[in-house]
Structure 1
Amino acid sequence: MQSILVKNLKSISDSGNIAIKPITIFVGANSSGKSSLLRIFPLLKQTFENRLREPLLWNGGYVDFGSFKDVLADNTNADSMTLGFTFKSIRMPRPFHGNKHDFKIEIGLSKAQVGGLSYVSSINLTIDDDDKITISIGQNHQIVSLNVNKTDIFVNQRDLISTESGRLLPFIIAKNEVEKRPGFLVRPYWRYPSMGYLFEKRLISLINSKFSKKSGFESKQDTINSINYVPRSEFREHLAQRQVAGTTFRRSILSTACTSDDNLNEVRDVWLSGTLNFLFLLFNEILCANAKNIEYVTPLRIIADRFYRLQGLAVDTIDPLGRNLAVFIDNLSKEKHDRFTNWTMEHLGFSVRANQDMRHITLEITEDSSGIYHNLIDAGFGYSQILPIAIQLWHSSERQKVNYRINARNQWPENAQLKIVAMEQPELHLHPTLQAKLAEAFVSSIERAKANNIELRLVIETHSETIINRIGYQIRNRAIDSNDVNIVLFEKKPSSAVTSVREVRYDDKGYLVDWPYGFFLPKED
């Protein structure tokens, strides 16, 4: 996941494509939409952890957006919202020939007339900046329009409807399962569920009208079945080289006098539309894999207790509120615990250990190497607030035994494991000195993750001038490259309910470029 986009989310009418870099920081005034955008990440996580009746789980275990109507509350003229993602260099199986491709997808959501739930009302998909697919879906789930580039796929879309897939993206199916009729092959990549009959029928009709009617029916079927995705400029040669194509068929394709580029493009567009369910299945799987590797830290973490009940749980994730910190630390092996305490002492100036008796666990902290530990509850409220963040940073950059979810073709994910940690206001209750150390810990966790072949992305919502400045200091000292940091500025004019979102950046010396003057200062009369 390279970038994210939202439209008509609370006060944000259009965020534009926001690059998700190793460190992405959201800054802005209160009630400017920062948290709403950041909470898209835990929203995805809670969505893909459940099977749903609507595309997104607005009210779940991590975040509560209310209902779909509440999502649009600040955009009174809007009746839909859009959620978009950009993926780079995704290796795809056949019929995309095992090559890497770039994808941009925007999913429109609207309120259903009955029940108040949302449904997918539009899908815009771009492949390699070369192919654009647009789908419009009506209230009754009927496909209103389906266009691939300049080709209107069906004159009458009443033959197609969308159906719930149990994930974010729906499937498109033919009414009455017409693809089961005998005499037509069901493409392997059209079976989720299949709508192959209609597309194959359209392709055979195109071939008969645009190329040659002399070729046999089975030859044309086999040719369609052997097509792979190639750039538009290479499609004529690719089609002609299909080994199953007959001599007459191949000759008509190669002849520009017999077959214009427009005719070939139309064939290619109709063929591409037949892969939509295959693409939607893979995007759902990719989004699911990304969502499962999202971790979330809430703005207010749980207050430390003097004792925690001893439980026989094997814990390998941290609760967003930090409620299971004691059990998590107690579960660490000695080797991992030593690595954790050494990391926190080096970068944050403290270390934590878990002591247990027969019934309870206590968390103890030390700020030096004297070996004198104190109960966490006696060490100050700030430590209880930074500890969940420290554990999350260390754990997310720690080498793990990876259990990848692989699709049926074992083609992805790539070698690096993607992890996204979204956190709100990590600076709460921290002295500026500790805020600066926390900023350095952000950078350290990114570099540590790279060494462990983990693609770690930190998405941080903050009001801390200290964190912003310290990240710049780290850039100046070459601890992190300026291209690995993105600052996203949320600006809301007093007279307007709409927030504008724009990206600013650091230069190579750590100075902010295009930063608004007096951003952290009160407005003067």
Structure 2
Amino acid sequence: MDTISIKGFKGFSERVDIDLKKLTIFFGYNNSGKSALLRAIPLLSDSFKDHASNLYTHSYLDYTSSSLRGAIHSDILNENSKDIDFEVTWQSNCISFSLRQNAHEHEFINKLGITKEGITKNYLPSEQNFSEFECDGENSISLESFFSISDTCIREKIRRSSASVSWISSIRTSPPRSFDIGLGIKTGVNYKGEGIGETLWYIKGNCPDAFELINTWLLETTGRKLKLDSSSTQNVSTGRATVKLQTVDNAIESSPVDIIDSGEGIAQALPVVTLCSMAKFGLLGEAPIITIEQPELHLHPQAIVTLAEFMINILKDMENIKLVIETHSESFLLAIQSAIVKREISNDDLSCYWVEKEDNVSSISNITFDDVGYIQGNWPQSVFREIIAQSKELLQAREERE
């Protein structure tokens, strides 16, 4: 995916366009719509998978997607809109569609647009079949699900996108003290950070460079490193073994500590670092998109800077990785500005948006930076000045007390 556009989705009554570059960042106050924008990406990815065949009521969006947290069409439809509109672009190719659903009826597409090599054709549903779409002078398109769309060019793009997105939510499960490996055990980190132990074990055995990169971040942040080897396993008779998820001091390599006891912030950031490392070494496919809510969760400001620098270094030499981040962190912003000044990331590789809500309507503003990292565009003057205001209030209170 290169760009996505939405309209009529949650708080966004008007169309908003998101340019997905190497690094895309959403800033904004709470309840402004940042998470809605970010979660639209895993929602689309899940909806592009083959999910339609086992649904009680037909829908084009995947309402079992974890990104919706149990919401259905009426929950995500903007209160002032009749349709939910999406548009996804891959270079000169694009699909756009408007979704509608009434009462207990199935969800249907009432407008479909297909762009190939820059030429757009608009389709309407057939009167005989809701999954057939017609355009004057063109062959009809069959679209019972996005995964099975009859247009081969768009189908290929959709299927690649369905497998390219990883998502880490802002509510993450603490890593386990131990985990099983062996027969029937899946690898992969899900949106809650679950599966981190099994995935680290797999990476250690199959991609040592990625494992070493994770340890590089851990060493810089804590002075400790992961230690997973046969000495921490207990063989059992079921074809599986139990492994402890621990760290050791880099200098002494003794007195192992469970990762969950190494600091809440480190435990919460580990899935983020793991996915980024996997992406760098091709373990997430050819063109991965990693969407992350609050990567800075529970981290000290200096550790946030280290994490931001780690992400920038991942992106620096890679052309096919995209990170999409929602954050409240001033430290993260300052790390990005510093990277621009140091020419570690180009403005051409960066999209930044301020998301705000007024009168229950969400909107976005594009934020840019000059060559020395100064913010340009519609960045509110009051943002990240709360500490200054608090300091002034404290000083005034002291003076009044005297």
Interval of TM-score (by shorter of Structure 1 and Structure 2): 0.7 to 0.9
SS for the counterpart of 1:78 is: coil
Distance in 1 (alpha carbons) for counterparts of 2:326 and 2:115: 30
Give matches, 1:481-492, under 5 Å.
Answer: 481-492=346-357
Asked whether the equivalents of residues 51 and 167 of structure 1 are also in contact (C-alpha less than 8 Å), the reply is no
Could you give the per-residue CA deviations for residues 308-352 of structure 1, whole angstroms, max 9, x where no partner exists?
244434645222222211111222345734542345425743432
Give matches, 1:50-69, under 5 Å.
Answer: 50-52=50-52, 53-61=58-66, 63-64=68-69, 66-69=71-74
Asked whether the equivalents of residues 136 and 146 of structure 1 are also in contact (C-alpha less than 8 Å), the reply is yes
Give matches, 1:181-196, under 5 Å.
Answer: 192=150
Q: Classify 1:474/1:423 alpha carbon distance in 2 versus 1 (closer, same or farther; 3 Å).
A: same
Q: Classify 1:448/1:317 alpha carbon distance in 2 versus 1 (closer, same or farther; 3 Å).
A: farther
Distance in 2 (alpha carbons) for counterparts of 1:63 and 1:77: 20
**Do residues 80 (structure 1) and 83 (structure 2) align?**
yes
Q: Which residue of 2 aligns with 1:104?
A: 94
SS for the counterpart of 1:468 is: helix
Letter in 2 for 1:60: S
Distance in 1 (alpha carbons) for counterparts of 2:133 and 2:142: 15
Q: Classify 1:146/1:328 alpha carbon distance in 2 versus 1 (closer, same or farther; 3 Å).
A: closer
Could you give the per-residue CA deviations for residues 253-289 of structure 1, whole angstroms, max 9, x where no partner exists?
xxxxxxxxxxxxxxxxxxxxxxxxxxx3321221111
SS for the counterpart of 1:104 is: strand
- How far off is 1:60 after superposition? 2.6
- How far off is 1:360 after superposition? 2.2
Q: Classify 1:132/1:281 alpha carbon distance in 2 versus 1 (closer, same or farther; 3 Å).
A: same
SS for the counterpart of 1:433 is: helix
Distance in 1 (alpha carbons) for counterparts of 2:89 and 2:6: 12
Give matches, 1:273-284, under 5 Å.
Answer: 280-284=151-155
**Do residues 287 (structure 1) and 158 (structure 2) align?**
yes
Give matches, 1:3-14, under 5 Å.
Answer: 3-14=3-14
Distance in 2 (alpha carbons) for counterparts of 1:62 and 1:143: 25
Q: Which residue of 2 aligns with 1:33?
A: 33
Letter in 1 for 2:89: T
- How far off is 1:106 after superposition? 1.7
Asked whether the equivalents of residues 85 and 104 of structure 1 are also in contact (C-alpha less than 8 Å), the reply is yes
Q: Which residue of 2 aligns with 1:447?
A: 316
Q: Which residue of 2 aligns with 1:43?
A: 43
Give matches, 1:120-159, under 5 Å.
Answer: 120-129=109-118, 131-137=119-125, 141=129, 153=137
SS for the counterpart of 2:177 is: coil
Could you give the per-residue CA deviations for residues 58-84 of structure 1, whole angstroms, max 9, x where no partner exists?
223454351111111xx3231101100
Letter in 2 for 1:79: K
Q: 1:166 aligns with which of 114, 121, 145?
A: 145
- How far off is 1:377 after superposition? 2.4
Distance in 2 (alpha carbons) for counterparts of 1:169 and 1:315: 27
Asked whether the equivalents of residues 217 and 310 of structure 2 are also in contact (C-alpha less than 8 Å), the reply is no
TM-score by length of 2: 0.82
RMSD: 3.0
Distance in 2 (alpha carbons) for counterparts of 1:140 and 1:29: 47
Q: Which residue of 1 aligns with 2:305?
A: 436
Q: Which residue of 2 aligns with 1:356?
A: 233
Letter in 2 for 1:2: D
Q: Classify 1:338/1:162 alpha carbon distance in 2 versus 1 (closer, same or farther; 3 Å).
A: closer
Q: Which residue of 2 aligns with 1:202?
A: none
Q: Classify 1:168/1:118 alpha carbon distance in 2 versus 1 (closer, same or farther; 3 Å).
A: farther
Distance in 2 (alpha carbons) for counterparts of 1:484 and 1:27: 17
SS for the counterpart of 2:355 is: strand
Q: Which residue of 2 aligns with 1:16?
A: 16
Q: Classify 1:163/1:333 alpha carbon distance in 2 versus 1 (closer, same or farther; 3 Å).
A: same
Moved more, 425-434 or 346-355: 346-355
Distance in 1 (alpha carbons) for counterparts of 2:48 and 2:333: 33
- How far off is 1:47 after superposition? 2.3
TM-score by length of 1: 0.64
Asked whether the equivalents of residues 15 and 501 of structure 1 are also in contact (C-alpha less than 8 Å), the reply is no
Q: Which has the larger radius of gyration?
A: 1
Unmatched 5+ residue regions in structure 1?
A: 89-101, 155-159, 171-191, 193-279, 403-416
Q: Classify 1:283/1:425 alpha carbon distance in 2 versus 1 (closer, same or farther; 3 Å).
A: same
SS for the counterpart of 2:351 is: strand
Could you give the per-residue CA deviations for residues 214-249 of structure 1, whole angstroms, max 9, x where no partner exists?
xxxxxxxxxxxxxxxxxxxxxxxxxxxxxxxxxxxx
Could you give the per-residue CA deviations for residues 362-406 of structure 1, whole angstroms, max 9, x where no partner exists?
11124644424422122121121011111111011113596xxxx
Q: Which residue of 2 aligns with 1:498?
A: 361
Asked whether the equivalents of residues 13 and 80 of structure 2 are also in contact (C-alpha less than 8 Å), the reply is no
Asked whether the equivalents of residues 489 and 504 of structure 1 are also in contact (C-alpha less than 8 Å), the reply is yes
Distance in 1 (alpha carbons) for counterparts of 2:103 and 2:261: 55
Letter in 2 for 1:31: N
Distance in 2 (alpha carbons) for counterparts of 1:169 and 1:80: 23
Percent of pairs with identical residues: 23
Q: Classify 1:492/1:39 alpha carbon distance in 2 versus 1 (closer, same or farther; 3 Å).
A: same
Letter in 2 for 1:385: Q
Distance in 2 (alpha carbons) for counterparts of 1:283 and 1:519: 41
Asked whether the equivalents of residues 2 and 20 of structure 2 are also in contact (C-alpha less than 8 Å), the reply is yes
Unmatched 5+ residue regions in structure 2?
A: 53-57, 236-240, 390-402
Distance in 1 (alpha carbons) for counterparts of 2:132 and 2:16: 26
Letter in 1 for 2:351: N
Distance in 2 (alpha carbons) for counterparts of 1:18 and 1:164: 25
Matched residue pairs, number?
371
Letter in 2 for 1:136: L
SS for the counterpart of 1:323 is: coil
Asked whether the equivalents of residues 492 and 499 of structure 1 are also in contact (C-alpha less than 8 Å), the reply is yes
Q: Which residue of 2 aligns with 1:377?
A: 260
Distance in 1 (alpha carbons) for counterparts of 2:284 and 2:124: 42
Letter in 1 for 2:179: Y
